[in-house]
Structure 1
Amino acid sequence: MKRIYKIILRELHLWSKRPIYLLGSIGVMLASAVFFLTFLGEGLPQKLPIGVVDLDNSSTSRNFIEQLDATQLGQVEGFESVPEARRKMETGRICAYVVIPEHFDEEVQAFHCPKMGVYVNTMNPVIGGALSYKDILFMVNLTNGAVQRQVLRAKGVNEDEIMARIQPVTLDAHNIGNAPTSYAYYLGNMILIGILGMSILLVVSYSLASELKYGTSKDLLALSGDSIDITITGKLIPYTLLFTSLGVVIQLTLFGPLHFPLKGSIWAVILSTLLLVMAYEAIAVFVVSMVPTLRLAVCISALYSVLGFSFAGFTLPIESLPVALQGVSWLYPLRFYYRFYVQEAIFGTGFAGWWNCCVSLLVFLFVPFVGRTRLYKAYKYQLYPRN
C-alpha cells in the first residue's frame, strides 16, 4: 500500500507540472458540456438557415415560403438563382435549399405533380441534413394537403369527407421515455459520456506512454518494487477518481437541474459510469502495452474512441448494420453503457435489465492482462523508440 501511495503522489505531482492532464480531462469535459447542453438546450436546434429559390413567384409558392419560415426549425433566406444558393450552401451559410420550379402553381392546381428540388448539405448530416430535410418535407406535405382541400371544397365536398381523403389514417404517437421528443435526452448524455471515454483513453494512454518517451519508466518500476501491477494500479487510481467524479457531475447535472428522464435509480447510473471509466482505462493500458510509443498509442486511442460513437447504437441501431459489423460493436464499452442507460434511465427495468451490461463492462478489465508481460518489458528495458 505504501508503494501505491507513493506512486499516487508522484502522479499528482506530474499533474501539477503538466497542465495537459487537467486540460484534457476537466477542461475538455467543461467545454463539451457547455457547448452541447447549450446547443441542445431547447431539445432541438432552432432556426436552421434554409435557402429558397422561387422561380414561380405565385401565391402558392409565396405561401409555402411563409409557412416554411414560420416553423420552429427553419429560417428562410431567399435567393435569385440556383448558383447563388449553391455557393451559400458550399460555404456553410445555409443547411439546405429548395428550388421551386416555374409554373409550380399551375401544375399544382392541375394535379400534375410538379417536382420541387431539395439540396442538402451532407457535410453535417445530423443537423444540416436530417433536420432541415425533415422540415422541408413536412411543409411540402402540408402544402399538398392544403391544395387538395381547396380543390375538394370547390367541388362541394364536405369537411369530414375532405379530411378522410387527405389523411385517411391518423397516427396517435406516444413516445416512450421521451414524451417531448427532445434530442437532448438521448444525444446529450451519450455524447458527453462518449467524450468522457475519449478523454480517458487519450489522457491515460498519454500518461502511460510518456513514461517511456521521457525515460522515467525505470524509476517508476523501482518505486513500485519492480511490480508492473503495483505500477499500473498506482497510476490509474487518480485517473479513476478524477474521471468518475467528472462522470458523476455530468449525471447529476443532467438528471437534476436539466430534468432528463430517469425512471430508475441514480446510483445504478453512477455504477455504470464507474464501470465505463475502468473499462476505458483498461483499454488504454492494453493499447500502450501493444504499442509502447507515445505517438502511435495516442493515435490508436483517438481512432478507437471516435469509432465508439458509431458502434454505440444511439444514432443508428446496431441491428441495421451488416452482421460482421454488429459483432464489432461488442469491442466498445460505450455500446454497453448505452444499453445500460436505456434500460435503467429510460425504462427503469432495474438489475434484471442491465446485469449483462455490467458483466460485459467487467470483461474489459481483464484485457490488460493480455499485454501485461509486454508492458513490463517495455517499462524495464525501454527497447522501443521514444519519438
Structure 2
Amino acid sequence: MSTTKTRSSLWQVMQREWRILTSRPLYLFCMVIAPLFCYVFFTTLMDEGLPQNLPAGIVDLDDTALSRRVARNLDAMPQTEVIAHYANVSEARRAVQRGEIYGFFLLPEGLSAEAQTQKQPTVSFYTNYSYLIAGSLLFRDMKMLGELTSGAASRSVLYAKGASEDEAMAYLRPIVIDTHALGNPWLNYSIYLSNILLPAVLCLLIMMVTVAGIGMEIKGGTAKAWLEASNGSIATALTGKLLPQTAVFMLMGILYNVYLYGYLGFPCQSGIVPMLLATLCLILASQALGIVMIAIFPTLRLGLSLASLWGVISISISGFSFPVMAMPGAIQALSILFPLRHYFLIYVDEALHGYGFAYSWPHYVALLLFLLLPLLILGRLKTALLHYRYTP
C-alpha cells in the first residue's frame, strides 16, 4: 500500500472514530466527565492535607488538675478533638463500637498522686484501627501526649530536687533528634495520594475505553466495515481508531498535571514537562494493554473484566501504598507488567526528588516497550475481527 493511500485510509478511520466518539454519550462520560469528577473528588476530599479534629474520648478516673490538663492538651492537638468524657472504659468502648469516636485516652485513678511520688503510673490509650488513617493519626497524637505527660512529671521531680532547666532537659532528652520529611515536608495526604490516584483512574479508563471501542466493533458486527475503511490493514485500523482517543486522554492528562502542579502547587522539582511526557507514555502503554486484552478475550464482557481487574490491581502493585520491595519476590517481578508502576517511579524521581532524565529513563523505555505487545497478537485480533461471532 502506497504512503498516500495509507494516509488516506488512516484519515478515513480517524474521521469514522470521531463520529463514533461524538455520537455515543458513553464515550463522553468515560473520557471526560468521569476523569474530571475524580480529579475534583479526590483533591477536594483531602484539601486540608491531613484529617483534622478526629473525634476521641477521655476516661478520667483521677479527676485532678493534672488529669484535666492532660485532657486539654489532647484536645489542643490538631488531629484530635475530645468530644466526650466517659465514666468508665466500658462506656468508651461501646462508643468506639458505635463509631462515635475513633479512640479514647484512659487516665487511671491516683495518676497525680503516683506521679508526684515517682511510682510510675500507667496511662492507656485505645484506637480503632479498622479505620487505618484515623486510627494511625489518633495513635500518634495519644502516644505523643503520653510521652509528654511522662516527661512533664519527670521534669517536675527534677525541679523539686534542685535541677536547672538545662540539666532537666539534658536528662530527659539526652539526644535531640532533628527530623526532615523529604519530598512532602507538609505531610500532606493529598500530595501523597492524588499524584497517583488521578493517573491510576485515567489508566483504568483508558484500558476500558480501548477494550470497549474494539469490543463494540465485534459485538455490533461493524468490524469488517472498520477494516475496509483501513484497506484491510489492522495496523492502520488500530492507529486510526486510537489516535482520536489518545488526543482526548492526553488533554485530560495535561489537565490533571496543570491542576496538580500549577493550580494546587504540588511539588514538582523537575518541572511539568517530564511529567507530561510520562503521562503520554502512560496513555500509550495503557492503550497497548487494552489491545492485548481484547485480542486475548474478544468478548466485550471478558475484555472489560480483565481491563478493570488489571487497572484496580495497578493501584496496589504500583508501590505508593505499600513498598514493592517488601512484597513477595513473585509479585515484585510481576510489578513491571503494570504501566502505573513505572509512572510512579518516574514521579518519585522527577517530581519529588528532581533527579532528572538520567535516573528515570529506564522507566520511560519500559512504558514504550508496552507498545510492542500488540505486535504479538495483531494476527489473532484481525482473525477475531473478521470471523468471531459475538455470543451474549
- Does structure 2 conserve the Cα–Cα contact (< 8 Å) formed by 1:312 and 1:332? yes
Change (3 A) 1:111 1:205: farther
Q: 1:356 aligns with which of 347, 362, 365?
A: 362
Partner secondary structure for residue 262 of structure 1: coil
Q: 2:54 aligns with which of 36, 48, 53?
A: 48
Q: 1:265 aligns with which of 267, 271, 286?
A: 271
Deviation per residue, 1:243-283 (Å, 9 max, x gap): 11111111112221222222213221111110011111111
- Cα separation, 1, equivalents of 2:33 and 2:288: 23
Partner of 2:102: 95
Q: CA deviation at 1:134?
A: 2.0
- Does structure 2 conserve the Cα–Cα contact (< 8 Å) formed by 1:11 and 1:238? yes
- Give the alignment's TM-score, normalised by structure 1: 0.90
Partner of 1:3: 9
- Cα separation, 1, equivalents of 2:102 and 2:8: 59
Deviation per residue, 1:139-170 (Å, 9 max, x gap): 22222222222222223222112112222221
Partner of 1:343: 349
Q: How does 1:83-232 map to 2 (within 5 A)?
A: 85-86=92-93, 88-90=95-97, 92-106=99-113, 108-109=115-116, 110-114=118-122, 116-122=124-130, 124-125=131-132, 127-232=133-238
Q: CA deviation at 1:358?
A: 0.8
Deviation per residue, 1:334-357 (Å, 9 max, x gap): 111111112222222222111111
Deviation per residue, 1:23-59 (Å, 9 max, x gap): 1232222222212222332322222223444444443
Q: CA deviation at 1:221?
A: 2.2
- Cα separation, 2, equivalents of 1:59 and 1:17: 72
Change (3 A) 1:218 1:343: same
Change (3 A) 1:302 1:62: farther
Work out whether 1:315 is the aligned partner of 2:315: no
Paired residue type of 1:36:
F
Deviant stretches of 4+, over 6 Å: none
- Cα separation, 1, equivalents of 2:9 and 2:95: 62
Partner secondary structure for residue 126 of structure 2: strand
Change (3 A) 1:108 1:310: farther
Number of matched pairs: 384
Q: CA deviation at 1:66?
A: 1.7
Change (3 A) 1:117 1:186: closer
- Cα separation, 1, equivalents of 2:209 and 2:94: 41
Deviation per residue, 1:39-93 (Å, 9 max, x gap): 3323222222234444444433332322222111122222535555455545554
Partner secondary structure for residue 256 of structure 1: helix
- Does structure 2 conserve the Cα–Cα contact (< 8 Å) formed by 1:97 and 1:120? no
Change (3 A) 1:135 1:360: same
Paired residue type of 2:245:
Y
Partner of 1:288: 294
Change (3 A) 1:149 1:268: same
Q: CA deviation at 1:99?
A: 4.2
- Cα separation, 1, equivalents of 2:215 and 2:186: 46
Deviation per residue, 1:176-226 (Å, 9 max, x gap): 333333333332211211121122122222222222233322322222223
Change (3 A) 1:19 1:60: farther
Partner secondary structure for residue 83 of structure 2: strand
Paired residue type of 1:112:
Q
Partner of 2:334: 328
Unmatched 5+ residue regions in structure 2?
A: 1-6
Deviation per residue, 1:272-303 (Å, 9 max, x gap): 11001111111111111111222222222222
Paired residue type of 2:36:
L
Change (3 A) 1:316 1:232: same
- Does structure 2 conserve the Cα–Cα contact (< 8 Å) formed by 1:54 and 1:99? yes
- Cα separation, 2, equivalents of 1:90 and 1:215: 55
- Give the alignment's TM-score, normalised by structure 2: 0.89
Measured on the aligned residues, the alpha-carbon RMSD in Å equals 2.3
Change (3 A) 1:120 1:15: same
- Cα separation, 2, equivalents of 1:83 and 1:22: 54
- Cα separation, 1, equivalents of 2:162 and 2:68: 26
Bigger drift between 102-111 and 72-81 goes to 102-111
Identity of matched residues, %: 36
Partner secondary structure for residue 313 of structure 1: coil
Partner of 1:26: 32
Partner secondary structure for residue 50 of structure 1: strand
- Cα separation, 2, equivalents of 1:290 and 1:113: 66
Paired residue type of 2:269:
K
